[in-house]
Amino acid sequence: MAELPFPLPDLGEGLIEATVLEWLVAEGDQVERNQPLVEVETTKSALELPSPQSGKVLKLYGAPGEVIKVGEPLIVFEVADDTAGIVGTVPSEDAPKRRVRLNANLDED
C-alpha cells in the first residue's frame, strides 16, 4: 500500500484558499473516483470537490470553518501499489489463449 496526498487544487480565477464547509467522507472510508469529498467555500462561491481517484481515506486536513491554502494538504489516500496511473487500467495477466496452430515439416532443414 502507498500513501497518496491530494493537496487543495488550484480553483482558478486567482483564488488562493478555501474554507472547509463540510466533509462528505470520513477517515477510513473507501471512496470512488469523482465521488464528492468535501464542500469548500471560496471568496466567490461554494463548491464540492470530487475525488481525483479511488482509494481509502487515511487522513483529512481541516475541520469545518478552517481555511486551507491552494497546494496545502487536503486529504491523504491509501492506494494499492499496483493501482493504475490517473489514466488507463492495469492489464490483467490472463493465461495465453490461442486459435492458431502451427504445422511445418522441419525435416527439410
Partner 1 sequence: MSETLTTSEAGAGAGTVTLSLQGALNLALDELLAEDPKALVLGEDVGTLGGVFRVTSGLAAKHGAERVFDTPLAESGILGMSIGLAMAGFHPVPEVQFDGFAYPAINQIVCQLARMNYRSRGAVPMPVTLRVPSFGGIRAPEHHGESLEALFAHVPGLKVVSPADPQQGYSLLKAAVRMPDPVIFMEPKSRYWQKGEVVTEAAAAASAAAAASAAAAAAATNDGGRSLGAADLTDAGLTGARIARPGRHLTLVAWGAMVARCLQVADLAAEDGIDVEVLDLRWLKPIDAEALASSVGKTRRAVVVHEGPRTSGLGAEVAQLVTERCFGTLKAPVERVTGFDVPYPSGDLEDEYIPNIDRILFGIQRVLEYKRG
Partner 2 sequence: MEMTTGRHAGAAVHHTVEGTDPGLNVQTYEPEHPAALPPVLLIHGFASSIALNWEQSGWISALREAGRYVIAVDLPGHGLSSAPEDVDSYSPSRIRADLLQIASDAGARPIEPGHPDSGLDVVGYSLGSRLAWEFGATQPAIVRRLVLGGPSSRDPLAEFDLVAAQRFLADGTPIEDASTAGLVTMAQASPGSDMYALLSLVEAVKEEPFDAAEAVPKQPLLIVAGEKDERVEGLEGLHGLVPSAKVVVIPGRNHVNAVTARAFKQAAIEFLGEG
Q: Which is nearer to partner 2, 24 or 58 (CB)?
A: 24
| 67 is a contact residue toward partner 2 (CB under 8 A) | no
Q: Which is nearer to partner 1, 2 or 16 (CB)?
A: 2
Q: CA-based angle 103:106:109, to the nearest 5?
A: 155
Tell me whether residue 46 or residue 84 sits nearer to partner 1 (CB atom): 84
Contacts (CB under 8 A) with partner 2, residues 7-26: 9-13, 21-22, 24
Which residues are near partner 1 by CB under 8 A? Answer: 2, 4-5, 7, 81-91, 93, 96-104, 106, 109
